[in-house]
Chain A
Amino acid sequence: MAEPIIRLTGLTKHFGGGENEVAALNDINIEIQRGEIFGVIGLSGAGKSTLVRCINLLERPTTGSVVVDGKEMTALSPKELRQARKSIGMIFQGFNLLMQRTALDNICFPMELAGKPRKEAVARARELLEIVDLASKENAYPAQLSGGQKQRIAIARTLAMDPQVLLCDEATSALDPKTTRDILRLIQDINKRLGITVVVITHEMKVIEEICSRVAILDHGNLAETGTVEEVFASPKSEAGRRLVYPDGVPYEMLRQEAHTARVIRVAFNGGTAYQPLIASLAIDCGVKANILGADTRNIDGRAFGTMLLGLPEDETQVAKAMAYIRSQKDITVEEVPDYHE
């Protein structure tokens, strides 16, 4: 395989120090190939933004290496880093346009930094306005544009840098579904036409499905899994992956394939002991490792009500032991679920 354009190795990021230390990223290893659209998905707080900001070093990693286009970003001097950033475009959820400049002048901004003569810059900006389909808005100020239009201008602005890579941090999260689709189309189009590598950060499965070729799943700062979108969506291997792909619960068939969860039982609590002690005593007293697949219980004055689905190992004797143990508890009923479908 060709040399990846982005390679993150052993990337770790901690915020704060002492007691308040937050590990936002733990030992992340990702390779992103030239020309692909790579997705990073995870729940809120998973560390997605931190990850993408480590790529252009808006956030300096605590440890690990970030190589973009052959350059070790963490080793660059401030000046070299600024130079390197000029080939990494970034768009944001909040658009971040310059409010006191017209659409055209926003697009001219990076060219101004690069010292391009005004005439050439304006000509190029007009071309880019065509590409993002907003030629009629060149003299509008951002306050006069809709969210989708603002994001188009922001995209045109990064394209003015002639970037190798485009980083999108929740670029469509503030937009309605139709506008989201339009912007995603535009990003896809740019990727195809200009060969720009795109990294898409999102918490929406739809966005990944729509345009990404490969995806990484982040979970509490850990890389839960990576793979092609088809692979990951067809059979997510990690707990986090399953939660994302099946937000309403995992189909029974999939659970069966798991080595340790072959049988499913439903436990109903009718006001007896809370459920944590039950799982713990199952493990300690019976040596049975139960896997909570789903729970809808609530604690009222320390007493549990509701139902819970537990996954048990295939082993017949273990299942029998677990069932017997649970039956012996007060105010708990249990039954095996022969064919569990969500």
Chain B
Amino acid sequence: MSEKLIELLMSWGINERLATSQVEYLAGYTVPFAIWETIYTTVLATLFAYVIGLPLGIILVTGEKAGIRPLPAALMKVLNTIVNLLRSVPFLILMVCVAPLSRLIVGTSIGTVASIVPLTLAAAPFVARVVESSLREMDRGVIEAAQSMGCSPWEIVTKVMLPECRPSLITGLTTATITILSYGAMAGTIGGGGLGAMALLRGHGRQETVVLYIAVIFLVVLVQIIQSIGTAVAVKTDRRIQHTQTKRRKGK
């Protein structure tokens, strides 16, 4: 089997050494493991990014002067500046800069687990903005109706804003997950694993083009799957749309 593959690669003009090393590399469990690493880094980083970004996004909306629970203008200014600052630092640089923080939190600054720290830190302000823009779509009248019924700010957030913005929040979650997935691909530079590292270190670093393409293809497929599921869930659960007429759509 592997001989046939090596021959095939060599027939594409790849030299024997590269063909052999690539086939050996791909024959093991490395690809499934890389996929698994990508998925769990992405899922964990997204989760932690939302733990920070969701409350932050909510505060950015509710804490405004005209919001439901105004906070001191100075505090809002500080929050906005921090979010903008973190968003303007390129991820590669951020990753290197937060090495001490990673060491503090997970005990090491290199490797897959360590890459979750800079990922979370880079994604949290992004998530905050995504959540903020979803919540801004909220109809003010509905919030007023809730206030007129004696809702507290907490009740408005949990029982009105979040449920009413659910479709848009899910769309945002999809975008955020995909962004984190693509950031994660850069984590190879600090020894993180996953499809990104596979493409970067093996594929690009050692000119193993086949490995590179296979890694990229799996990344593309993962993004497609996430996007399709996200869109489908957002549309399916949106009660403003009448589903009787919409036919089942296949992923775009």
User: Quick one: CB contact mask for B41-75 with A, threshold 8 Å, 1 for yes?
Assistant: 00000000000000000000000000000000000
Which residues from A are CB-within-8-Å of B160? 98
Per the CB 8 Å criterion, the residue count for chain B at the interface is 22
Residues of A in contact (CB 8 Å), total 31
User: How many whole Å from B63's CB to the nearest CB in chain A?
Assistant: 16
Pick from A100, A102, A109: contact of B149, CB under 8 Å: A109
Q: A96-B139, A98-B164, A99-B164 are in contact. Are A113 and B151 (CB under 8 A)?
A: yes
How many residue pairs link A and B with beta carbons under 8 A? The number is 72
B242 CB-CB contact with A under 8 Å: yes
CB distance from A173 to the nearest CB of B (A): 13
Interface of A is mostly: mixed
Give the CA-CA distance A114 to B155 in the complex, in Å.
Answer: 11
Within 8 A of B (CB), among A102-118: 102, 109-110, 112-113
Query: Is B141 a contact of A92 with CB atoms below 8 Å?
Result: yes
Q: Please report A residues at the B interface, Cβ cutoff 8 Å.
A: 56, 58, 82-86, 88-90, 92, 94, 96-102, 109-110, 112-113, 141-144, 154, 158, 161, 167
Taken residue by residue from 142 to 179, chain B's Cβ proximity to chain A (1 for < 8 Å, 0 otherwise) reads as 10110111111001000110011010000000000000
B141 neighbours in A (Cβ, 8 Å) = 92, 94, 96
Tell me the B residues contacting A by CB distance below 8 Å: 139, 141-142, 144-145, 147-152, 155, 159-160, 163-164, 166, 238-242
Given contacts A97-B145, A113-B150, A113-B155, 6 further A-B contacts (CB under 8 A): A96-B139, A101-B239, A112-B159, A113-B151, A144-B242, A158-B149
A126 → chain B, closest Cβ, in Å?
A: 20
Q: A200 CB to closest chain B CB, in angstroms?
A: 16
Contacts of A142 in B (CB 8 A): 239
Q: List 18 A-B contacts (CB under 8 A).
A: A58-B144, A58-B147, A82-B150, A82-B151, A85-B150, A86-B150, A92-B144, A92-B145, A96-B145, A97-B142, A100-B166, A102-B239, A112-B159, A113-B149, A113-B151, A113-B155, A142-B239, A143-B240
Q: Please tell me which one of the listed residues A56, A99, A161 contacts residue B240 in the complex, with CB atoms under 8 A apart.
A: A99
Chain B residue, CB-CB nearest to A79? B152
Q: Pick the 9 closest A-B CB pairs, nearest first.
A: A96-B145, A85-B150, A82-B150, A90-B148, A86-B150, A141-B239, A96-B141, A143-B240, A100-B239
Q: Is the CB of A85 within 8 A of B142?
A: no
Establish whether residues B145 and A100, one from each chain, have CB atoms under 8 Å apart when the complex forms. Answer: no
A85-B147 contact, Cβ under 8 Å, with A92-B141, A98-B142:
yes
Collect the chain A residues with CB atoms within 8 Å of residue B144's CB: 58, 92, 96
In the complex, the chain A residue whose C-beta lies closest to that of B140 is: A96
Chain B residues with Cβ under 8 A from A167's Cβ?
A: 148
> Within 8 Å CB of B163, what residues of A?
98, 100-101
Closest to B155 in A: A113
Contacts of B148 in A (CB 8 A): 56, 58, 85, 88-90, 167
* Max chain A Cβ within 10 angstroms of own Cβ: one of B147, B150, B239: B150
